[in-house]
Amino acid sequence: MARSGPGAARAPRGKRRWAPCLVATGAAVALAGGDGCSDHGAVCGPREAVVERVIDGDTIVVAGDVKIRYLLVDAPEATTGHADCYGAGAAQFNADLVLGHTVQLDYDVDCRDRFGRTLAYVTLDGHDVNRLLIERGYACVLHIPPDGDDRAGELEALESSARAAGRGLWGACDPIPCHSTRRVDRW
């Protein structure tokens, strides 16, 4: 499975979910010599930022034009000509939650995916946005190890509960758009 492409940065294995990467500044990135992530100390992106745009149910753009892809979340597509079942609903739910708000960002092992998006867990006012999307049935779990190894079980249990209750896409879509094999190798 292709997880990350050429030039994709990784945080050192010791820097896991609840030990966020350092805040990136132009000077820090320039001094580090590279894209901001290195094996000696991860600078994945900002720890806090204002959400300027919501691309879809699992991707946002924060201040500084930084594209953030939610870790462990796979929402139905609603962009670039795709209109997956529940994609518009997932994008709207995400926008209602975070658009215009300051969010906290935590990182895991890989800093970026093969599309250059920064991979992060997103929190708003103490609420785990990644978790809410899964719990309310707006998205499925997408676990690409080693990212999310310490949280996958928790989110998979929430997904199972949403599925059993028919919440969100689980009660509205057949087939379930985010369980398609066409999207397994995203990172």
Give CA–CA dist 140/146, Å, rounded: 18
Task: Kindly indicate the confidence band of residue 180, based on its pLDDT and cuts at 50, 70 and 90.
Answer: low
Q: Is 52 a catalytic residue?
A: no
Instruction: Give the list of residues 6+ apart from residue 156 with CB closer than 8 angstroms, or none.
Output: 141, 143
Is residue 132 within 8 Å of 159, Cβ to Cβ?
Answer: no
Residue 31: exposed, middle, or buried by beta-carbon count in 10 A (0-12, 13-18, 19+)? exposed
Please, which residues bridge with residue 104 across strands?
48, 123
Selected residue with higher pLDDT from 9 and 145: 145
Mean pLDDT of 140-147: 95
Q: Is 47 a catalytic residue?
A: no
Selected residue with higher pLDDT from 133 and 43: 133
pLDDT of 80 strictly over 80: no
117, 131, 151, 167: which is the annotated catalytic residue?
117
Q: What is the pTM of this model?
A: 0.77
pLDDT of 38 strictly over 50: no
Alpha carbons within 13 angstroms on the beta-carbon side of residue 84 total 24
Question: Over the stretch 110-125, which tens digit does the pLDDT of each residue have?
Answer: 999 999 999 999 999 9
Boundaries of every domain in the chain: 47-172
Amino acid 6: pLDDT:
39
* Domain 47-172 -> CATH class: mainly beta
Q: Is 117 a catalytic residue?
A: yes
